[in-house]
Structures are given as C-alpha cells and as structure tokens.
Structure 1
C-alpha cells in the first residue's frame, strides 16, 4: 500500500496539471477575443456571425451571441438580404411588448404572405434557416425553390396555448408576446403549387419530405420548433421561436 504522503503528492500534481490546462484555455480564449492571435473567422468563436458562410460547429454559438446583443444583431441582419425596417420599441401590457424589432417584408429569396413584426433575433434565425436549410431542402426534395412563405402571424399578446382543457392556456406568456416567434403554415413553390403543413405533413411524397426537412432544419437555428407531431394545436403550422426552452418536436 503506498504511503499517504505519496498519494497526497500525486493528487497535488494532478491539481497542478488541471490548473495549468485551465490557465492555458483562459489565455487562449483571451488571445482570440483580443485579436492577438489570428485564425480564420470561421473558426474564431468571437468573430461576428457570417450569415453567408457554411455553418460549422461554431455557428450556433455565434448566432446566440449575435441575438443577445442588439447592435450586433442588427449589424448581422443587415447582411442577410432580408427586406425589413426597424420599428419602435413597444409595451402593450404585462409581459407583452417588443424591443429591437423589425417589420419583416420578405426573405432573401422568398416573399412573405404579409409583413410581420419579429424581434431582431428571430429575424436573424429566420435568415439562417431560409438560406441554409429551407431553400436547400426545397431544391433537394421539390427540384425547385419555394417563392412564398405563408404564415399565421408573429406578435400577439397572449399566453401559451396548450390545447388542453377549457382554458386552453398555460398561464405563461407565449414567445409570441415578445415578437420572438413565427407560425409558418405553408409555402408556394416556384411552379405556384401550394404546400401546407396541415395537408402535406403526413406521407412519403416529395412535399412531406420537404416539410420534414424544413422542420428539422429550423431546429438548427431556432431555440424552439413545434409542429404537427407535438400536439393538435400545431397540426396546421410550425411554431418557430427564439429565447425559450430548447425543444424540437
């Protein structure tokens, strides 16, 4: 059996090793943050989000970082190709209202069925989804892009709708109440044929596969994504939100 002093010595060495590793990581992080070490922006976690760049393991971190900073978010949004204008901050009631918000009129490559008010963070996630998931899924599954997104609205001062019991609400504010959510009901293809979540979600045809890919792709860029497989309330739309609990159903 080793002597007690020998065991203490080993524990001391292990602690020193961990302290050294932690110090090295902190030094590297500070060097990256301060810019004293130059690495490609795609692999620098502190570099601004490049919306056009192919997503990698750092994209989610950069996206969340941009959404949390109003100025950084608006700067990133300006490079997306979305058509929008900023709107004044507004409070409409307890737990309701919005800040750092835009009126989104169209995506980079598709129209919206009507303009809608979205927080900058939600609009930035929308831009990433459209460019890196939605349109690639349309080309892959349908052989053509989608040209219109049909939605059921974004901002609404209301509680979460559970669809359970007579009250049908949870007593907790929905992310719609802060313009952090968008409900997507369907799409119009380049050949003008409509695809709806309610009609085309089930099955193995091209339209269903496209909707499945669009839903899964949204989970990469939004914090919460709910669809027909979640509950009956979402049988006819995708609920896309930022800022809430992470959920992909």
Structure 2
C-alpha cells in the first residue's frame, strides 16, 4: 500500500515537472500573441489568443459600477501602454436597451485618427488600434504607396435595433452600445481618398488598387472584429464597413450581391 502511494506521488511529481518544462518551452519558443497568459501587446501581430485577451476587457451587462470602472481603466492602461492617447467618455443609459458602459474616446498618439472623433466601448477601441497597426497601415503602404492620414467613419452610437427595426422583438444593434464602428473610407497622406461607395468594385477614382486595399482591410478586420459587414452583404452596407465586437461572429466575405442576384436569376 505504501509503495502504491509512493508511486502515485512520484508519478504526480514527474507530471508536474513535465508541465513546467512544457510551459517554459512555450514561453521560450511560441509567439506571445498565441499564448493566453501573456499580456496583450498591441504592437505584436494578431495571434490565436489575441481575441481572448481583448475579450477580457468586455463588460457584462450586469456588472456593478466599480467593475465597469476597474475593467475600463485596465483597458485604457493597455491603450496608453501602446502610446495611444485615450480619455474616459460619458456613459449612456436611456433606461432601455441603449446603454453604453465603459465609453472612451481616442484623442491621439500612435494611431490613425478617426474623422469625426467618436465615443466607443474600450474593447472596440482596442480592436480599432489592432486593425490600424496590423492591417490598415501596412496594407495602405503596400498597395497604395502611401500612409493613412485619417479613417472616415459614419459613427459608433445609434440608439436603435438592427436595421432600424421598430419591432420590439428585434435584436438591439451593437450601435446601441457604441460597440460598432462604421467605416466609410480613408484619406491617404498624399491626399487621395478610398471609399467603400466608390471603390469597392474597382471602378472608382482609386482604381483597382483601391478595391484591392478595401478587400485587404475587410479580410484583416475579420481577424480582429466579431462582425464585419461589407457592400457584398446587403444594400444597407453599400457605403461602409460595419465593424463590431459582438459576442457572435459573422464575416461577410461574399459573394457579391451582383453575383448572388445573377445566380438567383439563373436558378429561377
């Protein structure tokens, strides 16, 4: 009996040493962005654990006020640690489903400005900075040969249900929480503009390169945001990307509405 107990403890000790060795090897060789226990670094590429780290800043609807402040302060500290200037904004509560908790505003620093400046949830701001650094700026430089001066947007907060529905059973829009950003296009440092309305199909002022850039931005956004809706999705998004941080995932990558309509007519 004593020998059985000793064997058990020896086995447990060996397993513990093995786990410690594995943990050390992962810390040594695995990319930090793929390790859930390594703090979020907005300067690192998007990894398999990035979404989990950002989600740690999400605020539950039932969170107490002190939890809201503590979580938002930690989120803002992550932004400030990445040289992003951010300030706490006023929260909103209409007494119904339109509630913004943990609101912030990006005011400057190492981030492409949003025009106009908007209030958003702090986790959405973190996702925007990741998209800006890891997707937007590299893609614009590579495809268009110019850095980005500003991102032109259609806002974040709107007290409404999805698609503006008046049906009380319809799901509230993420805009009702300032947890969604609508991007209409961008202005490059050299003065050129790329817009979703004009350049999505490559026939606009930015030409084929503009369309290539927008598709790159969409694909990269799908790695950062929970929901990405595009002009391919429906007419309501013909002039902007809808980027949000909802609890579910949806990445609208096509096919385009034109191709879907053609397929439907052929099958009909």
Specify the alignment match of 2:48 in structure 1: 57
Between the aligned partners of 1:89 and 1:237, the Cα distance in structure 2 is: 26
User: How high is the TM-score relative to the length of structure 1?
Assistant: 0.78
| Mean CA deviation greater in 109-118 or 78-87 | 78-87
Report the secondary structure of 1:115's partner residue: coil
Cα shift readout 1:209-233 (whole Å, capped 9, x = no counterpart): 0011011111111111101011000
Say whether 1:216 aligns with 2:227. Answer: no
User: How high is the TM-score relative to the length of structure 2?
Assistant: 0.72
- Give yes or no for contact 1:222–1:240 (8 Å, CA) kept in 2: yes
Structure-to-structure mapping, 1:18-167, within 5 angstroms: 28=19, 39-40=27-28, 42=32, 44-67=35-58, 69-106=71-108, 108-161=110-163
Report the count of equivalent residues: 219
Between the aligned partners of 2:123 and 2:153, the Cα distance in structure 1 is: 18
Alpha carbons of 1:51 and 1:239: their partners in 2 closer, same or farther (altered >3 Å)? same
Between the aligned partners of 1:147 and 1:247, the Cα distance in structure 2 is: 29
- Give yes or no for contact 1:95–1:177 (8 Å, CA) kept in 2: yes
- Please report how far the alpha carbon of residue 61 of structure 1 lies from its aligned counterpart in structure 2 after TM superposition: 2.6
- Please report how far the alpha carbon of residue 129 of structure 1 lies from its aligned counterpart in structure 2 after TM superposition: 0.4
Between the aligned partners of 1:57 and 1:38, the Cα distance in structure 2 is: 14
Query: More relative contact order in 1 or in 2 (CA 8 Å, sep 6+)?
Result: 1
RMSD: 2.9
Report the secondary structure of 2:171's partner residue: strand
- Please report how far the alpha carbon of residue 48 of structure 1 lies from its aligned counterpart in structure 2 after TM superposition: 1.1
Report the secondary structure of 1:209's partner residue: helix
| Mean CA deviation greater in 194-203 or 60-69 | 60-69
Cα shift readout 1:147-170 (whole Å, capped 9, x = no counterpart): 11110000111111079xxx6997
- Please report how far the alpha carbon of residue 115 of structure 1 lies from its aligned counterpart in structure 2 after TM superposition: 1.3
Specify the alignment match of 1:177 in structure 2: 176
Report the secondary structure of 1:78's partner residue: helix
Between the aligned partners of 1:60 and 1:126, the Cα distance in structure 2 is: 13
Unmatched segments (≥5 aa) in structure 1: 1-19
Report the secondary structure of 1:138's partner residue: helix
The structure 2 residue matched to 1:227, chosen from 212, 230, 249, is 230
- Give yes or no for contact 1:223–1:244 (8 Å, CA) kept in 2: yes
Specify the alignment match of 1:12 in structure 2: none
